[in-house]
């Protein structure tokens, strides 16, 4: 039951919102029950696994907190923390990476270890990272758990974020709502959440789903019967599809949380206006980048180390783990190593800060976007060889005439959507809002009314697509 499904939009979410009429002290209990029901519908085979992981993680978090509160020797709380991290990563490894590793071992050593061919539990990667962050934050003393274990269980299982994040922290999930008890503040948060939900729904259905029609067709073609323009169209369309798909989901997830008074930081900040590859990752999947920074990169020493070798090692560890986190395939490992090499290159030569001319900075920005686009090709390919061949044909395509003709047909059919997707991938709307607001309150009110009407019409249009059965699963649901 994805957040763009008819059942979710017309039944589950409205019924869930009715719980806002409950007394505030009961709301957490009802939301936990709804979250468990949501998971049971989406991944019934692993519902018991979820319950077990909730009990173990919340229990361990309380044990670690109790040990620190009572002044036990640090080694005991550290042992509990290591056990918790080992438990979570072990479950993640078994379901997500076991087959990948056993195939590799069989190929190298000629063994015949049997593959499990397991179905991936819903949201396991995001659940694992939230659970580990909870345990580490309690161990560090940066988080003090509420006495009621329902708070910890709801944080880990909240239906708005369990499938594909964002990976918000325990203190972000609860503490930012303090002091927002007056009716106006509550209504503002609810209306902002509703706006984000509608915005994300439109992104997913009217942009990501339509762009996927281009992507699926082009990436499935025989590369010998394509042309460079057609492959560039496919690559650019995928870059935009992934952005609108995942940022759309993130907007919807954050919006759902806000409607219930739950906060979460933004997960995307117009990544394709980046000036460098490093900056791109400060704008793309922000909560994942912050997780790796706080729990891997900084504990390793971060950038404040005595040698270049140590800096490169720290970056390598972060990016190899980032690649592995995304999936059990050599494409993701290569993708992670590619970003390690590019970011290490930028840090070594001080790019793009050391570029002095406007033209050199512009050229570097174009080169960075091209690199990111090539990386998405690898990311979307069934294997590494196919991805590299796709990039090769992008650069030295054979110019197959039928492929060139198909390029024009696709542009005629989907060109308007593609053009708007490119336009809205830059912050034109926020800047337009700021400009209109500077022109006076009356014009600002008129502009907001027009924007609300446009959003309603687009939302109705998107709903009609979903009702007609034109809907795809979220791409990051696979990770």
Active site (annotated) includes residue 326: yes
Residue 458 falls within a domain, yes or no? no
Residue 324 falls within a domain, yes or no? yes
Residue 203 falls within a domain, yes or no? yes
- In this structure, are 93 and 225 located in the same domain? no
Q: What is the pLDDT of residues 443-472, one digit of tens each?
A: 889 988 999 999 999 999 999 999 888 777
Residue 176 falls within a domain, yes or no? no
Domain that holds residue 28: 6-163
- In this structure, are 110 and 232 located in the same domain? no
Q: What token pair was written down for 59? A: 């229990």
- In this structure, are 55 and 101 located in the same domain? yes
- In this structure, are 327 and 265 located in the same domain? yes
Predicted local confidence at residue 476, as pLDDT: 73
Residue 106 falls within a domain, yes or no? yes
Mean pLDDT of 52-79: 92
Q: Does 89 have pLDDT greater than 70?
A: yes
Predicted local confidence at residue 401, as pLDDT: 84
Q: What is the pLDDT of residues 341-376, one digit of tens each?
A: 999 999 999 999 999 899 999 999 999 999 999 999
Catalytic residue among 171, 285, 326, 393: 326
Predicted local confidence at residue 366, as pLDDT: 97
* 245: CB partners within 8 A, 6+ apart: 203, 204, 208, 474, 475, 476
Candidate from 20-29, 431-440, 460-469 with smallest mean pLDDT: 20-29
Q: What is the pLDDT of residues 1-22, one digit of tens each?
A: 788 899 999 999 999 999 888 7
64, 138 Cβ separation under 8 angstroms: yes
Predicted local confidence at residue 179, as pLDDT: 46
Predicted local confidence at residue 181, as pLDDT: 53
Residue with tokens 């409950």: 22
Residue 314 falls within a domain, yes or no? yes
- In this structure, are 331 and 234 located in the same domain? yes
- In this structure, are 208 and 334 located in the same domain? yes
Residue 416 falls within a domain, yes or no? yes
Q: How far is CA 1 from CA 9, 37, 44, 179, 398, in A?
A: 10, 11, 12, 34, 43
Q: Is 478 exposed, middle or buried (0-12, 13-18, 19+ CB in 10 A)?
A: exposed
How many Å apart are CA 388 and CA 125, to the nearest integer?
27
Residue with tokens 């539990």: 121
Q: What angle do CA 117, 475, 451 make, to 5 degrees?
A: 160
Helix axes 124-140, 47-69, angle to 10 degrees: 10
How many Å apart are CA 45 and CA 39, to the nearest integer?
10
- In this structure, are 418 and 298 located in the same domain? yes
pTM, two decimals, is 0.94
Task: Tally Cβ neighbours within 10 Å of residue 357.
Answer: 8
Q: Where are the alpha helices (DSSP H) in 260-352?
A: 277-283, 286-292, 298-300, 308-326, 330-349
Last residue of a domain, one of 146, 163, 180: 163
Q: Does 276 have pLDDT greater than 60?
A: yes
- In this structure, are 124 and 241 located in the same domain? no
Residue with tokens 């550290």: 78
Residue 338 falls within a domain, yes or no? yes
Count of residues making up the chain: 479
- In this structure, are 82 and 204 located in the same domain? no
Q: How far is CA 409 from CA 53, 221, 298, 306, in A?
A: 50, 16, 50, 56
- In this structure, are 215 and 332 located in the same domain? yes
Predicted local confidence at residue 479, as pLDDT: 64
Long-range CB pairs of 158-161 (<8 Å, 24+ gap) are 158/31, 158/35, 158/257, 158/262, 159/16, 159/31, 159/34, 159/35, 159/38, 159/39, 159/256, 160/3, 160/252, 160/253, 160/254, 160/256, 160/257, 160/260, 160/262, 161/126, 161/253, 161/257, 161/264
Predicted local confidence at residue 443, as pLDDT: 85
Q: What is the pLDDT of residues 209-240, one digit of tens each?
A: 999 999 999 999 999 899 999 999 999 999 99
425 by DSSP, 3-state: which? coil
Torsion angle of the four alpha carbons 23, 134, 91, 164, in this order, in degrees rounded to the nearest 10 = 60
């Amino acid at each position: 039951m994805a957040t763009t499904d008819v059942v979710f939009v017309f039944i589950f979410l409205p019924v869930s919102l009715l719980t806002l009429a409950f007394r505030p002290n009961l709301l957490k209990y009802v939301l936990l029950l709804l979250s468990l029901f949501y998971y049971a519908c989406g991944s019934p085979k692993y519902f018991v696994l979820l319950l077990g992981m909730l009990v173990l993680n919340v229990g361990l978090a309380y044990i670690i907190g109790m040990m620190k509160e009572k002044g036990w020797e640090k080694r005991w709380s550290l042992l509990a923390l290591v056990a918790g991290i080992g438990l979570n990563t072990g479950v993640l490894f078994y379901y997500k990476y076991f087959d990948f590793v056993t195939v590799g071992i069989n190929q190298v050593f000629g063994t015949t270890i049997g593959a499990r061919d397991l179905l991936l539990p819903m949201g396991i990667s995001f659940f694992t990272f939230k659970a580990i962050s909870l345990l580490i934050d309690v161990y560090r003393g940066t988080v003090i758990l509420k006495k009621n274990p329902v708070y910890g269980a709801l944080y880990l299982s909240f239906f708005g974020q369990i499938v594909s994040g964002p990976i918000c922290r325990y203190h972000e999930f609860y503490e930012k709502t303090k002091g927002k008890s007056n009716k106006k503040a509550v209504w503002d948060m609810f209306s902002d959440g509703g706006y984000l939900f509608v915005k994300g729904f439109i992104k997913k259905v009217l942009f990501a789903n339509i762009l996927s029609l281009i992507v699926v067709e082009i990436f499935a073609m025989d590369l010998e019967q394509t042309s460079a323009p057609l492959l560039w169209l496919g690559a650019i369309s995928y870059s935009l599809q992934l952005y609108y798909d995942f940022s759309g989901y993130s907007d919807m997830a954050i919006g759902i949380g806000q409607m219930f008074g739950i906060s979460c930081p933004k997960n995307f900040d117009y990544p394709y206006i980046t000036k460098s590859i490093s900056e791109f990752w400060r704008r793309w999947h922000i909560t994942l980048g912050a997780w790796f920074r706080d729990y891997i990169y900084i504990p390793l020493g971060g950038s404040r180390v005595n040698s270049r070798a140590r800096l490169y090692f720290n970056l390598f560890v972060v990016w190899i783990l980032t690649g592995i986190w995304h999936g059990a395939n050599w494409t993701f490992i290569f993708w992670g190593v590619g970003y390690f090499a590019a970011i290490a290159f930028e840090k070594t030569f001080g790019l793009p800060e050391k570029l002095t001319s406007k033209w050199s900075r512009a050229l570097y920005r174009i080169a960075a976007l091209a690199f990111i686009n090539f990386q998405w090709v690898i990311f979307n390919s069934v294997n590494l060889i196919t991805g590299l061949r796709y990039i090769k044909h992008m650069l030295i395509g054979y110019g197959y005439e039928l492929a060139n003709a198909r390029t024009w047909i696709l542009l005629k059919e989907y060109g308007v959507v593609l053009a708007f997707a490119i336009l809205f991938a830059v912050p034109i709307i926020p800047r337009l809002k700021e400009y209109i607001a500077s022109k006076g309150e009356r014009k600002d009110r008129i502009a907001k009314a027009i924007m609300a009407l446009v959003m309603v019409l687009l939302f109705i249009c998107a709903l009609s697509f979903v009702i007609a059965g034109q809907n795809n699963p979220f791409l990051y649901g696979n990770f």
